[in-house]
Amino acid sequence: MDLLTTLMDWLRPDWFLDLVVVSDDYNRGRYLAGLWMTVKLSVLSIFFSLVVGVLGAAVQGAPSRTLRVLVGAFVAFFRNTPPLVQLYFFYFAIGTVLRITGENGLPQPLVSNFGWAIISLSLFAGALNVEIFRAGVEAVPRSTVEAAEALGYTRLQIYRDIVLPLAVRISLPALGTNLVNLVKTTTLAYAIAVPELLYVSAQIWSEDLNVREMMNVLLVSYVGLVAVLVWVLHRWEKTLRIPGYGE
């Protein structure tokens, strides 16, 4: 700890930046807890949004017109309304209805604010992923699907083994942009008191009156988080690349 404090003293002249999230144990603990909360929000929202996107794209190609209309309505709802309004809708409108009786006999929320943030962000990004994957599915050559049918593949096998892998390769650039936006959108969880990075940073600068310093720390933190995600997406894209395909 002494070495870390000395390093920070060397890195930051007092007239430029006072990194209380490093020099102060209490604030450092809060900041790291907020960073971990943001990471959890991002990872879980990305995972569930991908699941929603894959399933929605599959249903959009289903023979049932009713299912296609339902998925279209879902996409239109989440694509045409602000994500903050969606978050408030889930937390205040639905959350106040879904309650259980606690051990003390008082009503308790069935889903926590963290849970509603995951649900809202996943559905919002998932609706956009549906359209991204749908575009990728439609870009797969019809001749490829016909070849799979000639080999005796079922509809499910064609989608799982042929269409989806190719569609993911085609969709990765647009998908990466949407996932990066999703990570940045996790700051909206601040509005329902989820203690993520923005929330804990606001608490720190409200108490220590160091708004400029904390805004710099917050900005650098999100640059780092997004940089890691972009690196992972680039590695994923290189891994899935098929030599000669799409050229």
Residue 186: inside a domain: yes
Q: How far apart are CA 104 and CA 9, in angstroms?
A: 50
Rounded to 5 degrees, what angle do the CA atoms 40, 46, 52 make?
Answer: 130
The overall average pLDDT reported for the chain is 85
pLDDT in tens, 165-202: 888 888 888 999 999 999 999 999 999 989 999 999 88
Domain limits for position 81:
31-240
For residues 90 and 20, the answer to whether their CB atoms sit within 8 Å is: no
The count of structural domains within the chain is 1
Q: How far apart are CA 176 and CA 129, in angstroms?
A: 10
C-alpha 246 chain-centroid distance: 28
For residue 29 the two structure tokens come to 């603990």
Residue 3: inside a domain: no
The model's pTM is 0.84
CATH number at residue 79: 1.10.3720.10
Q: How far apart are CA 133 and CA 165, in angstroms?
A: 11
Identify the sign of the CA torsion 206, 210, 215, 221.
negative
- Specify the range with the lowest mean pLDDT, choosing from 58-62, 88-92, 192-196: 58-62
